[in-house]
Amino acid sequence: MMAFKRNWWIPLLFTLVGLAVDAQIIERTRPVEWNGLVKGGRFMDRFLPIPVNGPLTSDTWGAKEVIPRYIDNGLEDNEWSYWGGNAIKDNKGIYHLFVCRWPESAEKGHMAWPDSEVVHATATNSLGPYTVQQTIGKGHNPELFKLNDGRYVIYVYKGYYISDSINGPWVFSRFKFDRRGRNVHDGLSNLTFAKRENGSYLMICRGGGVWVSQTGLSPWYQITQNSAYPPVEGRFEDPVVWKTNVQYHMIVNDWYGRIAYYLRSKDGINWKVEPGEAYMPGIVKYTDGTKEDWFKYERIKMLQDEYGRATQAHFAVIDTIKWNDLANDNHSSKHICIPLTVGRLMTVVDNSKINDYTKTIQVKIKGEDGFNPHTDIKLESLRLGAAEKVNYGGGSQLIDSRIDGDDLILTFDAQDNGITEDNFAIKLLGETTRGDLLFAYARLPWVNYLPSALSARMPQVNMNNGKVSLSVEVQNFGQQRSCEAKLVVLEDSKSGSVELASGIINPMEPYEKIVIDLPVDNKIDNGIRHLTVQIKNGNETVEVIKGEVLVSK
């Protein structure tokens, strides 16, 4: 009898799967309108050359496309495969990176990731090299965030670690999730978090569902039914969300297309898709011209400054298709850090609403360490207005500038500014005097950035003396008191929708919850009924949830 090596089938399986995956990598057709974008019109324009740090070497693992390279960037070695994670800076100037890894010698190769462990690494340079200090425990897809009480949380797939100190000790626990009758959108994994203005927390799950927690621990409530992601073809994963002093930002990756999208939001709930690639293969280059052509970039995270601005992007990168990374071979993955152009601090000077009669728009550009607006701005390059305008080279033109202490007041002619009711931020785009990208966002003073967020569960059907009524739980997940609103319940069928009941939602404080009982005005038959619940603020429908309920009289 022929003797077979134990688990002889694993390499064959990986080869077959790899072939199948090759067929699933899709080169997406780039939208024609993206061809008109100017420098700074897409997020990918913000990636900067990486400063050289350490020796350039070919004596390391990797496909020829990433050899030679600077191995002191981020975190890598020959013993471990690293994946994902984010970093923060402490008050002593030390950078703390939390990332997952598994042995390069693991029998399943890259597919050993489900058995990964989370480690804590540190560096004195934000770009690395990072040195592992301790093992936290089992886990994958880590993301660190800080609670209002000063404790630290490391989210991992199916749980989290919590500690009073950035250096541990760490205790494992699990979140509680309440779907509230909504779809989970591709599962509760790849979660990403941002602190809201009132100290509560926002989370985006892998499928684009928006969740809120009052404390950042639990419970987490899903408040949207539709995905926040772009309404385009794609297999989305790896979202990252972060908040600045102006707005919320999100990037999400199209797994098959190897292209990512950038979105902005005033409240973290309703998102606007920006044109152009957020990132894609080919973005790594060094200040000496060295390039690294990594096959794939995933698990993007942001290093943020005190204003929340993204100063550096952290990625998991791999030099080949995942299924071709086998045990003890020449392929692997690492953690990489890429500096970003940082948006300048800008405010709108006049609080008057911009409309068709506006003659000029004034903004103030704040001076900062390393940036002098008096001398560092190429004034003739500037455009101001809605992102939809300036991303394509339009917008208002500069007509005057004046010094205001360390700051600079810029006056624009207001023509072609493009600001509409749909805009919540104004964008400045141009160049520095050295020819580098310069951009800034500012809040529009008349926009409410802390709206209420009324959200309903699917109705419960009640029977009382032969009469049918519906009980609907409504909660305010926003950050301010809500106004009076209207609740409407419709029954859906192939022939259309019929209103079953409606009522008034009285003003509610943030996180306040009420149950509204609605008598059913129209006949409702036994069985599974398809219902739509709407919340209306005047003529505007602010929430819609669809689902099924069982009627049994």
pLDDT of residue 468: 84
Which contacts (CB < 8 Å, 24+ apart) does range 462-468 have? 462/517, 463/553, 466/553, 467/519, 467/520, 468/519, 468/520, 468/524, 468/551, 468/553
**What gap in Å lies between CA 474 and CA 436, rounded to an integer?**
49
Query: Could you give the domains of the chain?
Result: 10-339 (2.115.10.20), 344-443 (2.60.40), 454-551 (2.60.40.10)
- Phi and psi at residue 475, to the nearest 5°: -135, 145
- Output the average pLDDT for the chain: 92
pLDDT of 23 higher than 60: no
- What are the distances in angstroms from CA 268 to CA 9, 78, 243, 343, 507? 47, 40, 9, 19, 22
pLDDT in tens, 434-492: 999 999 999 999 999 998 999 999 999 888 777 888 999 999 999 999 999 999 999 98
pLDDT in tens, 461-471: 888 777 888 99
DSSP string, 35-75: GGPPTTSSGGGGB-PBPP-S-EESSS-S-GGG-SEETTSSB
pLDDT of residue 12: 45
Report the percent of the chain where pLDDT is more than 70: 95
Which residues does 153 contact at the CB level (< 8 Å), separation at least 6? 144, 145, 146, 147, 160, 161, 162, 216, 217
Q: In whole angstroms, how large is the CA radius of gyration of the chain?
A: 26
pLDDT tier at 553, thresholds 50, 70, 90:
low
pLDDT of 282 higher than 90: yes
Which spans in 376-520 are helix H?
Answer: 387-390
pLDDT in tens, 357-370: 999 999 999 999 99
pLDDT in tens, 80-122: 999 999 999 999 999 999 999 999 999 999 999 999 999 999 9
Quick count: other Cβ atoms within 10 Å of Cβ 539? 5
For the entire predicted model, the pTM comes to 0.93
User: Is 326 strand, coil or helix?
Assistant: coil
Which residues does 525 contact at the CB level (< 8 Å), separation at least 6? 551
**What gap in Å lies between CA 371 and CA 342, rounded to an integer?**
11
pLDDT in tens, 316-358: 999 999 999 999 999 999 999 999 999 999 999 999 999 999 9
Q: In the predicted model, what is the mean pLDDT of residues 195-206?
A: 95
pLDDT tier at 11, thresholds 50, 70, 90:
very low
Q: From 191, 97, 186, select the one nearest 141 (Cα to Cα).
A: 191
Report the percent of the chain where pLDDT is more than 90: 81
Is-contact 117 155, C-beta < 8 A?
A: no
Q: Cα 147 from chain centroid?
A: 19
Which residues does 367 contact at the CB level (< 8 Å), separation at least 6? 373, 374, 405, 406, 407, 408
pLDDT of 493 higher than 90: no
